[in-house]
Amino acid sequence: MSPAGEIGRRLTEVRRRLAAAADRAGRRPDDIRLIAVSKTFGLDSIRAAVDAGQVDFGENRVQEALQKMWGSSDLQIRWHLVGHLQTNKAKKATGFAWIHSVDSLKLLEGLDRAALDAEGHPDILVQVDLAGEATKFGAPPQHAVDLVHAAARCRGVRLAGLMILPPFADNPEDARPYFRRLRELRDDLVARGLDRSFLKELSMGMSHDFEVAIQEGATMVRVGTAIFGERPTR
Ligand SMILES: *Cc1c(COP(=O)(O)O)cnc(C)c1O
């Protein structure tokens, strides 16, 4: 099969798995957005996925993403930044429709200021670190709560939910407690009075564990390898 045909075939398979997982959880597949994480892959791969009906794409590096945005401006794509963002690059990130990785007040303020000056008004998610790993990005829970309240007051960017990237584990079940706790954190914030419209989205689940994430309430799953194949090591 051609590389493009292979990507189309894998996408169909991921959509089938997504729909089956939604079904098992008593949820509607349409309520779960599939984000094709295209980092390290080129425009050919992205075009093949677009041809197969894919609209949402995720990247984890701003510069790499901007190049792909410029090279695909003829296509209807919604771009998501799923990787860490440095505050000094906030200005460059306003072209994303979604930013999943807001994890500090400084970054939030930088993004909000940049978005007020720009045409783009990204929807943002607060990335939560529930594992307490010093090496990982994301705001620890108490800090995340403060960040959520600050983000809800922003006018340039719009708060839309929470994101998590649990520590990698071979067994997808090991990620379940993290997905569950992210959902509980959301429910808790809503129970304490935060408008639910700010926390509609839960971005959680990747190639090997998105079915578990869907069971736990994911509304966005970020899938790379299962669509595009193994990434070349950088
Ligand atoms: C790369 C990446 C993904 C996709 O990972 P796969 O295992 O290839 O599906 C999802 N989320 C983030 C934040 C990533 O960096």
The pTM score is 0.96
Token pair of 84 as six digits = 């860490």
pLDDT at 136 over 90: no
Give the distance (Å) from ligand 1 centre to CA of residue 150: 27
* pLDDT of res. 134: 61
Question: Residue 234 — pLDDT band, cuts 50, 70, 90?
Answer: low
Atom of ligand 1 lying closest to residue 226 CA: 9
The confidence band for 232, taking pLDDT boundaries of 50, 70 and 90, is confident
The model's pLDDT over 28-74, given as tens digits with 9 standing for 90+, comes to 999 999 999 999 999 999 999 999 999 999 999 999 999 999 999 99
Token pair of 61, please? 């590096």
Residue 193 Cα, ligand 1 centroid: separation in angstroms? 32
User: Tokens for 12?
Assistant: 């169909």
Check: CB of residue 129 under 8 Å from CB of residue 137.
yes
pLDDT tens per residue, range 181-196: 999 999 999 999 999 9
pLDDT of residue 120: 85
Residue 162 Cβ contacting ligand 1 at under 6 Å: no
User: Rounded mean pLDDT of the chain?
Assistant: 96
Residue 1 has pLDDT above 80, yes or no: no
Q: Is 37 in the pocket of ligand 1 (CB under 6 A)?
A: yes
CA of 86 to the centre of ligand 1 (A): 18
Mean pLDDT of 156-180: 96
In the predicted model, is pLDDT for residue 156 greater than 90? yes
Q: If pLDDT is split at 50, 70 and 90, which confidence band does 6 have?
A: very high
CA distance 205 to 100: 13
Question: Is residue 9 pLDDT above 80, yes or no?
Answer: yes
- Check whether 98 has a pLDDT greater than 70: yes
Task: Give pLDDT, residue 135.
Answer: 60
Per-residue pLDDT, averaged over 5-12, amounts to 97
Contact partners, residue 93, CB within 8 Å, separation at least 6: 62, 81, 85, 99, 111, 114, 122
Q: For residue 208, which atom of ligand 1 is closest to its CA? A: 7
Q: What was the pLDDT predicted at 119? A: 84
How far is ligand 1, taken at its centre, from the CA of residue 192, in Å?
32
Buried-state track 53-63, b at ≥16 Cβ within 10 A, e below 16: ebebbbbbbbe
Which residue's alpha carbon is nearest to atom 10 within ligand 1? 222
SS (H, E, C) the chain: CCHHHHHHHHHHHHHHHHHHHHHHCCCCHHHCEEEEECCCCCHHHHHHHHHCCCCEEEECCHHHHHHHHHHCCCCCCEEEECCCCCHHHHHHHHHCCEEEEECCHHHHHHHHHHHHHCCCCCEEEEEECCCCCCCCCCECHHHHHHHHHHHHCCCCCEEEEEECCCCCCCCHHHHHHHHHHHHHHHHHHHHCCCCHHHHCEEECCCCCCHHHHHHCCCCEEEECHHHHCCCCCC
Banded pLDDT at 87 (limits 50, 70, 90): very high
- pLDDT tier for residue 78 given thresholds of 50, 70 and 90: very high
What's residue 20's pLDDT? 98
